[in-house]
């Protein structure tokens, strides 16, 4: 079930909300937790056709593993935790990377054909990572959960289940037991946050996605300079508004239940360096990789050279986490290398050997790099990636952009016209969406007065002051209501969220 579907908005959500608050107020948190866990599993099971049982098995296994670690003798705790994490990783590897591994064996002639094909279960990367973090926290004695319904809810909680944010046990459990009881206020702020997220998805991400799909779809052959840049920009905007829209919707839905989720985005396209970009983009994945991979690998504690290797390793694994394919590895490696270079530059600047880059230059360089790196993330294979990069570098030649009437003008002038056509309205829309990404305040800033989500330590101020903050008055209610209504009208055909596939 999608957040941007009428089934969810008009049937599932009202039923879940009404029963949850009724149970909480009349029977207490034990029953409301049980209801929410059951409703969350239902939410998952009706959308997952291949392996609806997998999440239940995964929850039971990790719950048991958590208890086993807690009960284990001090000298065996590490072994039990390592075994539990290994089982999680093996499961993830099988469901996510089996097909890819088989393809590689076929490519080198070690296998003739695939023995079987594995369907990727929805949300497996998210709920596996959430539980690996839990196991690590239990091992570190910062988490422990004895109640199965509470643990089940922590993993399957429907606002975050399919595409995050990736949660920490310690930030959620106290809230499940004692959610914020300010019902009208939470519903109002939650609805406002949800409206912003839905508008991002259907009014900004989906139109940008149409342009990106058209361009990347044509890139198997050849793609011109202008089309390659427009298509890449469109994808960069699509993925940002799609994923941050989803995160806003998740935060809004959760607020309606009186529970705050961690904030996942903080205007990443305003970042003036790649290091800042990663403190603003997919924050809960970034902190997971930092806390459970980069720091255990040694972080920056073992010298400069080792630090760069750790960064590269972390980002490559982060890339592969997104999907089984060389393109994701390339994307991760590019970001790892860029972070290593940025750290090196920053260290040199501190020693006065190089000058610090002006903010505007840092921003332009970061955006240029991020856009170029989105190409392998979106392209179905390395061939299309190379074609797009060649187009962006002008190696496929320069021709007249085929935008609406401009194509006709090019024809009259007798110059070559690019094969990928864009409508004037589409390109104008893309320009407007770009301005929103770069100049507009983000959701947390708009909702600054109400602390809509949890901050992550080390990720800076997530809601710096802005002139455009939502107030609790009739004008705001009118505007948000209008936006929600328009966004609901714009829900058209089936439009999945990009991060569902990860």
Partner 1 sequence: MRRRAKLNGRAVAPLFILILVAALTFLFPLPREQRMLRVVAKAAVAAATPGDKVAVVGNSVIGHVSKCDADRRDISAMIADDLHRPVVDLSYGGQAFEETVNLAGMALRTPHIRRVILPVPIAGFADADAMDLQSQAFFRLAAGPLAMNDIGARFGRGIYLSPGIAERVNSFTYKGKAYPDYNGVKTQYFEPERRTMPCPEVGGRNPEFMEAYYWINFVKPDPWPAHLADVRRLAELPSAKGRLTIVLMPMDFPGVRKMPATLQADVVRRRDGVLAYFRNAEVDVLDATDLVGPGGFADGYCVCGHLTESGRSAVAKAVAAKVGGAG
Q: How far is the CB of 433 from partner 1 (least distance, A)?
A: 17
What would the two tokens of residue 445 be?
Answer: 């800033």
> Do residues 77 and 144 lie in contact, with contact meaning Cβ atoms separated by under 8 Å?
no
Burial class (CB in 10 A: 0-12, 13-18, 19+), 358: exposed
User: Of 111 and 486, which CB lies nearer to partner 1 in the complex structure?
Assistant: 486
What would the two tokens of residue 143 be?
Answer: 């988490």
380 scored as a contact of partner 1 (CB under 8 A): no
In whole angstroms, what separates CA 313 from the centre of its chain? 20
What phi, psi does 419 have (nearest 5°)? -70, -35
> Do residues 203 and 459 lie in contact, with contact meaning Cβ atoms separated by under 8 Å?
no
Element at 403 (helix H, strand E)? strand 400-403
Q: 317, 337, 486, 500: which one contacts partner 1 (CB under 8 A)?
A: 486
Q: How far is the CB of 463 from partner 1 (least distance, A)?
A: 17
DSSP code of residue 417: E
Element at 419 (helix H, strand E)? strand 417-422
Q: 68, 72, 185, 365: which one contacts partner 1 (CB under 8 A)?
A: 185
**Residues near 483 by Cβ (< 8 Å), separated by ≥ 6?**
195, 196, 199
Q: How far is the CB of 167 from partner 1 (least distance, A)?
A: 24
Pick out residues in 257-276 that bind partner 1 (CB under 8 A): none
What is the total count of residues that contact partner 1 (CB under 8 A)?
28
Q: How far is the CB of 75 from partner 1 (least distance, A)?
A: 47
User: Of 213 and 300, which CB lies nearer to partner 1 in the complex structure?
Assistant: 213
Among residues 160, 169, 322, 343, which one is catalytic?
A: 322
User: Of 148 and 488, which CB lies nearer to partner 1 in the complex structure?
Assistant: 488
Q: 182, 301, 302, 383: which one contacts partner 1 (CB under 8 A)?
A: 182
Pick out residues in 451-480 that bind partner 1 (CB under 8 A): 472-474, 476-478, 480
Q: 188, 225, 241, 502: which one contacts partner 1 (CB under 8 A)?
A: 188
53 scored as a contact of partner 1 (CB under 8 A): no
1 scored as a contact of partner 1 (CB under 8 A): no
**Residues near 322 by Cβ (< 8 Å), separated by ≥ 6?**
125, 328, 331, 332, 377, 502
Q: 81, 427, 437, 484: which one contacts partner 1 (CB under 8 A)?
A: 484
Side-chain-side CA neighbours of residue 65 (13 Å):
26
Q: How far is the CB of 437 from partner 1 (least distance, A)?
A: 23
Pick out residues in 194-233 that bind partner 1 (CB under 8 A): 195
184 scored as a contact of partner 1 (CB under 8 A): yes
The dihedral through the CA atoms of 263, 264, 270, 273 has a sign that is: positive
Q: 16, 69, 191, 250: which one contacts partner 1 (CB under 8 A)?
A: 191
Q: How far is the CB of 393 from partner 1 (least distance, A)?
A: 26
> Tokens 């940002």 — which residue?
240
Query: Which span sits near partner 1 by CB under 8 A: 186-194, 277-285, 340-348, 439-447?
Result: 186-194
> Tokens 């800042």 — which residue?
276
User: Of 136 and 470, which CB lies nearer to partner 1 in the complex structure?
Assistant: 470
Q: Is 168 a catalytic residue?
A: no
The dihedral through the CA atoms of 5, 209, 419, 421 has a sign that is: positive
- In angstroms, the CA 129 to CA 316 distance is 16
DSSP code of residue 31: H
Written as one string, the DSSP assignment of 272-333 is SSHHHHHHHSSHHHHHHHIIIIITTTTTTTT-HHHHHHHHHHHHHHHHHHH-SSHHHHHHHH
- In angstroms, the CA 346 to CA 357 distance is 10
Q: 83, 144, 183, 293: which one contacts partner 1 (CB under 8 A)?
A: 183
Pick out residues in 6-35 that bind partner 1 (CB under 8 A): 6, 10
489 scored as a contact of partner 1 (CB under 8 A): yes
Q: How far is the CB of 460 from partner 1 (least distance, A)?
A: 25
Element at 367 (helix H, strand E)? helix 359-378
User: Of 312 and 486, which CB lies nearer to partner 1 in the complex structure?
Assistant: 486
User: Of 412 and 489, which CB lies nearer to partner 1 in the complex structure?
Assistant: 489
User: Of 18 and 478, which CB lies nearer to partner 1 in the complex structure?
Assistant: 478
User: Of 110 and 117, which CB lies nearer to partner 1 in the complex structure?
Assistant: 117
Total residues found in the chain within this entry = 502
Residues labelled as active-site residues: 322
Interface positions with partner 1 (CB under 8 A): 5-6, 10, 182-185, 187-188, 191-192, 195, 472-474, 476-478, 480-482, 484-486, 488-490, 492
């Amino acid at each position: 079930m999608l957040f941007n579907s009428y089934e969810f908005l008009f049937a599932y959500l009202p039923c879940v909300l009404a029963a949850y608050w009724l149970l909480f107020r009349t029977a207490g948190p034990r029953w409301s937790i049980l209801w929410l866990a059951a409703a969350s599993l239902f939410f998952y099971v009706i959308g997952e056709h291949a392996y609806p049982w997998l999440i239940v098995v995964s929850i039971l296994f990790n719950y048991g593993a958590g208890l086993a670690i807690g009960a284990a003798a001090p000298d065996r705790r590490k072994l039990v935790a390592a075994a539990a994490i290994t089982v999680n990783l093996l499961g993830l590897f099988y469901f996510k990377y089996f097909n890819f591994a088989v393809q590689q064996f076929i490519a080198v002639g070690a296998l003739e054909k695939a023995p079987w094909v594995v369907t990727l279960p929805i949300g497996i990367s998210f709920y596996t990572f959430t539980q690996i973090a839990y196991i690590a926290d239990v091992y570190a004695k910062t988490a422990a959960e004895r109640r199965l319904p509470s643990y089940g809810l922590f993993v399957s909680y429907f606002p975050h289940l399919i595409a995050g944010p990736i949660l920490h046990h310690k930030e959620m459990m106290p809230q499940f037991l004692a959610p914020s009881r300010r019902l009208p206020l939470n519903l109002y702020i939650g609805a406002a946050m949800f409206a912003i997220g839905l508008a991002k998805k259907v009014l900004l991400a989906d139109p940008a996605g149409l342009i990106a799909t058209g361009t990347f779809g044509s890139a198997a052959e050849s793609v011109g300079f202008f089309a390659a840049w427009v298509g890449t920009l469109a994808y960069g905007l699509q993925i940002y508004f799609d994923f941050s829209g989803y995160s806003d919707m998740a935060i809004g839905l959760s607020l309606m239940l009186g529970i705050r989720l961690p904030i996942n985005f903080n205007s990443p396209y305003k970042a003036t360096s790649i290091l800042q970009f990663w403190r603003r983009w997919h924050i809960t994945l970034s902190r997971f990789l930092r806390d459970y991979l980069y720091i255990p690998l040694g972080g920056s504690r073992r010298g400069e050279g080792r630090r760069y290797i750790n960064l590269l390793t972390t980002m490559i694994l982060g890339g592969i986490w997104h999907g089984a394919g060389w393109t994701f590895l390339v994307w991760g490696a590019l970001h790892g290398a860029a972070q290593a270079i940025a750290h090196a530059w920053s260290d040199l600047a501190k020693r006065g050997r190089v000058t610090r880059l002006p903010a505007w230059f840092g921003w332009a360089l970061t955006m240029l790099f991020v856009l170029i790196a989105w190409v392998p993330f979106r392209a179905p294979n390395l061939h299309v990636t190379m074609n797009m990069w060649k187009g962006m570098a002008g190696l496929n030649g320069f021709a007249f952009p085929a935008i609406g009437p401009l194509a006709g003008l090019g024809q009259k002038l007798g110059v070559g016209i690019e094969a990928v056509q864009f409508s004037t309205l589409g390109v104008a829309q893309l320009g407007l969406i770009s301005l929103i990404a770069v100049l507009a305040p983000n959701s947390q800033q708009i909702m600054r007065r109400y602390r809509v989500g949890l901050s992550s330590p080390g990720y800076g101020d997530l809601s710096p002051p802005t002139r455009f903050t939502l107030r609790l008055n009739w004008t705001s209610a009118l505007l948000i209501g209008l936006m929600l209504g328009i966004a609901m009208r714009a829900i058209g055909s089936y439009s999945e969220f990009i991060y569902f596939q990860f």
